[in-house]
A and B are shown apart, each in its own frame.
Chain A
Amino acid sequence: MALTEPQSRNLNLLASSPQLPSVKACCHTTTDAGAGPEAPVVALVGAPNTGKSTLFNALTGARVTMGNWPGTTVEVSRGVWKATRSAASCTCAECTCDPDEKRLELTLIDLPGAYSLDPHSPDEDLTRELLVGVPVAERPDLCVVACDASRLANSLYLVAQLREQGVAMLVALTMLDVAAKRGVQIDTVALSAALGCPVIGIDPRRRAGLEALAGAVGEALGEAAPTPRRRPDTSDELELDDDRFGWIAAAVEAGTSAPSEQPRTWSDRVDRWVTAPVLGPLIFLGVMWMVFQITTVVAAPLQDLLDGLFTGPVSAGATWLLGAIGLGGTWVEGLVVDGLIAGVGMLLTFVPLMTLMFVLLALLEDSGYLARAAVVADRLMRSIGLPGRAFLPLIVGFGCNVPAISATRILPGARQRVLTALLVPFTSCTARLTVFVMLGTIFFGEYAGTAVFVMYVISIHLVVLAGLVLRRTLWRTMGTEPLIIDLPAYQRPTLRLTASVAWLRLKGFLQTASGIIVATVAAVWLLQSIPVQAGEAFGEVPVQDSVYGVAAQAVAPVFAPAGFGSWETASTLAVGFVAKEAVISSWAQTYAVADPDGGAPGALGTAVLNSFTESSGGHPVPAALAFMVFLLAYTPCVATVAAQWREIGPRWTLFGIGMQLVTAWVLAVAVFQVGRLFW
């Protein structure tokens, strides 16, 4: 067999490479041992992760980086491919040498990974330049395009473009085993006919198919370059790409065979249910109910244990220690025992609960379920005319409102950003969760989990209703943004990842909360220590006569129609404006200062229950529910306000605060007034 004269001997970018031995291009050519300037140059091209580098290593034995990371092949590698063709692949009519020793020595260059000839990176630019940018005489003699059989369509775009250029080429098909596992069989003959170039199935990791590849390369080098594939006479990019993808789709259809009925994976079967229009939301609600139920039921004993620890030994120890150093009965004891230990200690009792919550959410996320929940949420958003993409910041809002406000930046329109930023505060963040759990435990006992779940349902309804009202009043002309979600397959959650994500979130919660708690405890303590009337000493004034108590008493009547018009409760709402994490600590602080001897485990719950019973005229349950609704709907925290200020400006921020306060008050009053008829 006579080979055509190699066209390229001096690729500019390879000029500095070490000189290689002289050519031995066919079993009839020189007996020189190595490839040299006359050796045919074969370029190995393909998209990243198609096994191109592995193939290069298998063919040349060169020590180059192998890996799965996109873009590993960042520089041109060159090697000598001492190919041994199988006897059957030699078509030389006058061959006299031993068929088993038919050797083919080539210069093999490994070009940077490229999806296409449309460069999006310097690597791709280089590949394009070497394949079609330089004069024909300087181009490789043959291109071997590595294509991933398991992602065939993705690999074929480059093939389509090379075929349009009339480049001499063949396709080396890798990952056939992966494709087979997915039930996809490749017919290389049919695929070859569809692509208009030879197709060879190989497995470079097991060095399988390399002789057949060598044979095909030898044959291709001896043939003229194929006629370029015709493309539409247009300069429209989309039309050109559409034509290529039409060609790709036809090749995939011709060259691959999948079972007539695609095997439904269990993931597909589960998805049919969990993303169904009606059942999907119900399943989502059921899952979230279980999360809250498990959280509250399992964490409750641990919470009680920690409560007993802080109200008992820790407080007693601190009191004893302060007494021993002569600070007993002073304002320092008040600050440390009734302030820091009562406030911070109360927050720490929620650590088991938050840990469990974060673990469960991490499990849902890692398993892939939350992705399905996002599909359900997106569908809901669009069905009521809200921008589909808005679901994302809103979902983030259930973790923390502040990043959710920042996340509104993903929305393309200013109106959508403002609308979503106004809705985010209605999503129930984890800081509010602690208060809900506490009140749920006090007022609803074993149904605490359900009570918390109901608050989340109310939260979702608030978002939807407020969104609808705003859309129908302020932003009637706002368009919707389409989106699709690529659902990852379900997977078994890993312990490492779940633990890591849960720990990171718990740490973040504690870091944020502890800083806020200590600061607000100090501020509340200061306000509770300053007497309003002359003649009373700093730090020795009854709370109700302090600046804190008097201010709270002035505000409290506003909440009387909602059933929680006591000053102790009203004051926590003011503290809650700073951060919801501080609501419980300020409560604990207020009752600890008011009744320093009442620090028994569960004493705070009793005090809160008595307060609600008194302020509601004997209807504590609807009053507590109304308080929870108010807490849910009014301004989440100053950090959220600051984020809104930054993202949507002062005017809309103030509008939002007003809207939240009005909504919260109206809903709380409605809940109490209706609820008192039943409870």
Chain B
Amino acid sequence: MSAGPLSLVLAEVEAGTPTLTQMARNCGLDEEVVRAAVEHLVRAGRIETRELSVGCPPSGCGGCPLAAEGEGCGRPDVLQGRRPGLVLLSLARRVA
């Protein structure tokens, strides 16, 4: 039996395909299906997402969202009105 879309997408993540567009091309799937698959895998806890910020937070370095969940650059008041930015997705380690 051939692998389904989710397995294909997971394999692409594991292989390090850097963008969803490239992933869709590699899998021969509609990009919207790949996007939905990734979102589903995120909800299922198989992929982790993290919004990235390149600069450092003004309120002090210790408050960086990359250092502490929900604080720093990622605080809602800082992000308010901000457009969608860089989102990093990575394979989560799941306990069977």
Number of interface residues of B (CB under 8 A): 61
Identify B54's interface contact among A252, A396, A511, CB under 8 A. A396
B54 touches A484 (CB 8 A): no
Among the listed B17, B50, B81, B89, which residue makes an inter-chain contact with A497, where contact means beta carbons less than 8 Å apart?
B81
Q: Considering the complex, which residues of chain A in the window 227-276 have a beta carbon less than 8 Å from any beta carbon of chain B?
A: 237-239, 241-243, 245-246, 248-249, 252-253, 256, 258, 262, 268, 271, 275
Q: Shortest Cβ distance from B37 into chain A, in angstroms?
A: 6
* Residues of B close to A241: CB separation below 8 A: 4, 6, 40, 44
B17 CB to nearest chain A CB (Å): 6
A145 to chain B, nearest CB (A): 15
Chain A nearest CB from B38 CB (Å) reads 8
Query: Which of A151, A379, A392 has the largest count of B CB atoms less than 10 A from its CB?
Result: A392
Question: Which of A242, A252, A491 is close to B3, meaning CB atoms less than 8 Å apart?
Answer: A242
A221 located at the interface, meaning its Cβ lies under 8 Å from any Cβ of chain B in the complex: no
Known: A389-B90, A482-B16. A504 touches B58 (CB 8 A): yes
A306 within 8 A of B: no
If A241-B40, A246-B4, A400-B61 touch, whether A505 touches B30 (CB-CB below 8 Å) is: no
Chain B min CB distance to A362 (Å): 8
A48 to B85, CA, bound (A): 21
Q: Which of A50-58, A295-303, A367-375, A519-527 contacts B (4 or more CB under 8 A)?
A: A367-375
Which residues does chain A contribute within 8 Å of B62, judged by CB atoms? Answer: 402-403, 406
A508 at the interface (CB under 8 A from B): yes
Chain A residue contacts of B30, Cβ below 8 A:
153, 249, 252-253, 256, 258
1/0 contact string of B59-72 vs chain A (CB within 8 Å): 11111101110001
Q: Could you tell me the distance in whole angstroms from the C-beta of A619 to the nearest C-beta in chain B?
A: 36
**Is B82 a contact partner of A497 (Cβ separation < 8 A)?**
yes
Chain A residue nearest to B67 (CB atoms) is A406
| A 381-419 to B, binary, CB cutoff 8 A, 1 in contact else 0 | 010000011001101101110110011011010000000
Residues of B within 8 A of A508 (CB): 56-60
B13/A482 in contact, CB under 8 A? yes
Residue of A nearest to B4 (CB): A242
Q: Are B33 and A153 in contact (CB under 8 A)?
A: yes
Choice from A403, A483, A488 contacting B88 with Cβ under 8 Å: A483
A494 to chain B, nearest CB (A): 8
Tell me if B87 counts as interface (CB < 8 A to partner A): yes
**CB neighbors of A among B16-39 (8 A):** 16-21, 23, 29-33, 35-39
Query: Once bound together, how far apart are the Cα atoms of A378 and B89, in whole Å?
Result: 13
B20 touches A486 (CB 8 A): yes
The answer to whether A392 and B66 touch across the interface, beta carbons within 8 angstroms, is yes
Of residues 353 through 367 on chain A, the ones whose CB sits less than 8 Å from some CB of chain B are: 358, 361-362, 365-366
Residues from chain A with Cβ under 8 Å of B52 in the complex: 371, 374, 392
A491-B83 in contact given A242-B3, A400-B56 (Cβ < 8 Å): yes
Q: Which of B23, B56, B66, B93 has a CB less than 8 Å from the CB of A484?
A: B23
Knowing A153-B35, A248-B36, A485-B88 are in contact, say whether A378-B18 is a contact too (CB < 8 A). yes
| 28 A-B contacts (beta carbon < 8 Å) | A153-B36, A157-B40, A238-B46, A246-B4, A246-B5, A249-B5, A249-B33, A252-B30, A252-B32, A361-B54, A362-B55, A371-B85, A399-B54, A402-B62, A406-B62, A406-B68, A481-B91, A482-B90, A483-B13, A483-B18, A483-B89, A484-B18, A484-B38, A485-B89, A486-B20, A488-B87, A504-B58, A505-B55
Which residues from chain B sit less than 8 Å from chain A, CB to CB?
3-7, 12-21, 23, 29-33, 35-40, 43-44, 46, 50, 52-64, 66-68, 72, 78, 81-91, 93
Chain A residues within 8 Å of B, Cβ to Cβ: 115-116, 118, 120, 151-154, 156-157, 237-239, 241-243, 245-246, 248-249, 252-253, 256, 258, 262, 268, 271, 275, 358, 361-362, 365-366, 368, 370-371, 374-375, 378-379, 382, 388-389, 392-393, 395-396, 398-400, 402-403, 406-407, 409-410, 412, 480-488, 491, 496-497, 501, 504-505, 507-508, 511-512, 639, 643
Apart from A157-B40, A406-B66, A483-B13, what are 11 other A-B pairs with CB-CB below 8 Å?
A238-B6, A246-B5, A362-B55, A389-B88, A399-B54, A403-B63, A480-B16, A482-B90, A483-B18, A485-B88, A508-B59
